[in-house]
Amino acid sequence: MDFLKKHYEKVLLGVVLLGLLGAVISLPIIKNAQDAQLQQILQDYRTPKILPLAPLDLSTQEITLKRAASPVLIDFGPPNKLFNPVLWQRSLDGHLIKADSTNVGPRAVIVTKITPLYLILSYDSVTVSESGDHYVIGMKKEASPKPAERNISRAYLPVGQKDSTRTFELKAIEGPPDSPTNVVLRLADTGEDVKLSKDKPFKRIDGYMADLKYDPEKQTWPDKRVGAVLSLNGEEYNIVAISQDEVVLSAPNKKKWTIKYSPSPVKDSR
C-alpha cells in the first residue's frame, strides 16, 4: 500500500499510457472497418438495387375503352315525339289518318299473296340426223328479271353442249339414242345432275312474287317481283327481297322494312 501511495502517479500514468497504446493499435482496425463500410455505401449508391414496379391497375381505363368501343346510340325515331311531332294525313276518301309508323308508310303495307316462281325444264323430243342426234329441251325461268325468259324456250342440243343461257348442260342420255327414256342435265348454278323424261319434267322454286295493298291510299300491286318500286305517300320504296313468308322493302336511305305474310286460313266448305 505504501508503494501505491508513493508511486500512484506513475501507476496512473502507466494505465493511461496502456490505454493510449491500445487505442493506437486499434486505429488501423477501426479505419479498415470504416473504409469497408464506406466502400459498401459507395457501391450501393453506384449500383442500387431496383425493385420491380407493382402491376398497374388499369381496370378503370379498360372499362372506359369498352364503353368507347360501344357508343351510345340515341334513337330519335318514332315513338319519340321530341323531333317527331304527330302528323295527320287525309286519305283519298277524306277522313284523317294519324300518320305514325303503324298505319302510314311501309309498315302499313299488307302482303295479300305470295306466289312461287319456278325453273321448269322438260324433255320434248329428239331429232336424228347424220350429223348427230339433237335433243329438244324446253326451259321456262319464271323468276328471271328478263320478261322474255319467263316464257318457254327450247334448246336443240347434242350431248355435252350447254344451252345459250348457260343454265344447264346436256350431260348424257339413258336408253336408245333415238328414243331415250331419260336425259341427264347438269345445272350450272348448283352442279346438280337431274333426270328428265317426256312425262316427268324438272321443277324447282327459283323465287317468289307478291301481291300487296296499301289501304291509306287504296292502292294494290299485283304480281310484284324483286326490284319493283312502290310509291307510298309520294315516297318510293324498292322491293329488295321476297321469300315464301315475307317481303322486304328498302327506302332511298337504305333503311329496310320486313313485311310478314300471313295467309288467311282456308275455310272448310263442308
Q: Mean pLDDT score of the chain, rounded to an integer?
A: 84
- Tell me: the pLDDT tens digits for 172-201? 999 998 899 999 999 999 999 999 999 999
Using DSSP, state whether 33 is helix, strand or coil: helix
- ∠ CA 135-136-142, nearest 5°, is 140
What are the residue boundaries of the structural domains of the chain, listed by start?
7-44, 75-104, 108-114+207-260, 117-206
The rounded percent of the chain whose pLDDT value lies above 70 is 84
Dihedral (C-alpha) 83, 84, 85, 86: value to the nearest 10 degrees? Answer: -170
Please report, as a single letter, which amino acid is at residue 265. P
Reported as a pLDDT band with limits 50, 70 and 90, residue 269 is: very low
pTM score, two decimals?
A: 0.60
Q: 131: which 3 cell numbers?
A: 350429223
Half-sphere exposure of 54 (CA within 13 A, CB side): 2
Q: 236: which 3 cell numbers?
A: 318510293
Nearest to 126 by CA among 181, 60, 190: 181
Q: 33: which 3 cell numbers?
A: 472497418
Higher pLDDT, residue 100 or 245: 245
Question: How high is the pLDDT of residue 27?
Answer: 80
- Tell me: the pLDDT tens digits for 36-95? 888 888 887 778 777 888 888 888 888 888 888 877 777 776 666 676 666 666 665 666
Please report, as a single letter, which amino acid is at residue 64. T
